[in-house]
Homo-oligomer: A and B are copies of this chain.
Amino acid sequence: MSLPLALIVETALCVLTPSNDKGNVALQVYKGKDEILLSKLILDPSHSILTQSYDCRLRLDTRRPHNGDGFGVGYYTDPKLGPEPCIFTSTIPAWNCINLERLACKTTSSLIFAHVRATTEGTLSDSNCHPFRYNSLMWMHNGNVGAWRHVKRRLVDDIGDQWFLGVKGGTDSEWAFALFLDTMEKMGHHPSFPPPNGFEHKALRQAMLKTIARINKFIKDIPEPHRSAKDLDTRSLLNFAVTDGHTVICTRYVSSRTDEAASLYFSSGTKWVEYEGGHYRMERRDKGADIVLVASEPLTFERDNWVTVPTNSVLTIHRQTVMIHPILDEYYNPSPSYSRSSGFASSKGLVNNETPNGSETKVLAASRKLDGTERVDAKVAINGVAA
């Protein structure tokens, strides 16, 4: 049986990978063959990322957010305007941002990242809003790096000057991006020189997995007795998303064998349709999948549109194909019946309390379609991490 998790759906492949972290952050990825109006993703759906950010807060009854909200959207434009995405960030709540509303109604793109922040590190500042950008690369994070106060200096010391000096804000998420950029460079894929058709998807995926491995290593290197101090939580929630404008890599990951990661979903199809005021669904006219959406929680109430990404796996959207690979490190458990606790992610506000029933099953079913080629690829990816 092994390695069941890569999804391949025939020719015009289809996948979408929503990484759902509910609560303090909501993120969302759109990749389509055609451009879509931003407002159809961000503003109009009754359960859009905007209302998510708003609803998310509904569940945080007991704690007042101590840091800043913030919003960001990044999108790629006509290649004639250059390979870099355009980024719009806002430190006022997304639902109050008149500029966001106006821009979203007049801007189209075929690859969009969106992020709402209500989180734990860094003050309210444009510099702290996701997505982060370097050249053609765009990055988002939903979660937190464990034992950050001990990890920060190790990370800072381990990366090259260019990336060290490029960090403008104060979030663990931006430093994780710097670490990713450093990893890319050290692997021989300098972020300053993107190939005309983008980096290889294997390279991006490996760099992502190595980034996670390096973070885990920093935490392991915290000396005793700090590392075992009772009040130090070394678990990281690492739902990352990165793209170079061609390939999208998303992770759903927790550095724990017993806890569940923050949630993540995807949906794919041929058309994103508003069938009733504010209510959208994904339609699929044929086997193909022209559109892939990844989100920290489902954007529609049509729950069978959405597939859960398994804990501790990496999702790749490349051309018309979506692949899901397990992240085979010490925190991985291959048994589909293995049970993890959602308490940790939940304590961070990162668990959807209305988990759509049956979606886990759906992934496993889908995974049976795996073919051999992809499985090998998955192994390579993992080996890269393990090495």
Instruction: Please list the residues of chain A having a beta carbon within 8 angstroms of any beta carbon in chain B.
Output: 37, 50-51, 54-55, 57-58, 61, 64-65, 67-69, 77-78, 81-82, 84-93, 95-96, 98-99, 102-103, 105-108, 122-127, 149, 152-153, 156-157, 161, 164-165, 167-170
Question: Is there an interface contact between A106 and B93, defined as CB atoms closer than 8 Å?
Answer: no
A93 cross-chain contacts in B, Cβ below 8 A: 69, 93
Contact (Cβ within 8 A) B124 A98: yes
A-B residue pairs, 7 tightest by C-beta: A86-B106, A125-B125, A77-B106, A58-B58, A68-B96, A96-B124, A123-B127
Contacts of A37 in B (CB 8 A): 81
Residues of B within 8 A of A161 (CB): 149, 153
A165's nearest neighbour on chain B, judged by CB, is: B149
Bound-state Cα–Cα, A96 to B156, Å: 28
**Does B64 contact A86, Cβ atoms closer than 8 Å?**
no
Tell me the bound Cα distance from A126 to B102 in angstroms: 13
A95 to chain B, nearest CB (A): 6
- Residues of B near A55 (CB, < 8 A) are 61
Residue among B85, B125, B152, B153 making CB contact with A126, cutoff 8 Å: B125
- A51 in contact with B68 (CB, 8 Å): no
What residues on B are CB-neighbors of A64 within 8 Å?
50-51, 54, 95
Is the beta-carbon distance between B98 and A126 smaller than 8 angstroms?
yes
Bound CA span A95–B149, Å: 24
Can you name the residue of chain B whose Cβ is closest to the Cβ of A152? B165
Q: Which residues of B contact A157 (CB under 8 A)?
A: 157
Since A81-B106, A99-B126, A125-B169 are in contact, a sample of 4 more A-B pairs with Cβ atoms closer than 8 Å, ordered by chain A residue number, is: A37-B81, A58-B61, A81-B108, A93-B93
Query: What chain B residues lie within 8 Å of A82 (beta carbons)?
Result: 105-106
Closest B residue to A66 by beta carbon equals B95
Q: Are A123 and B126 in contact (CB under 8 A)?
A: yes
A191 → chain B, closest Cβ, in Å? 18
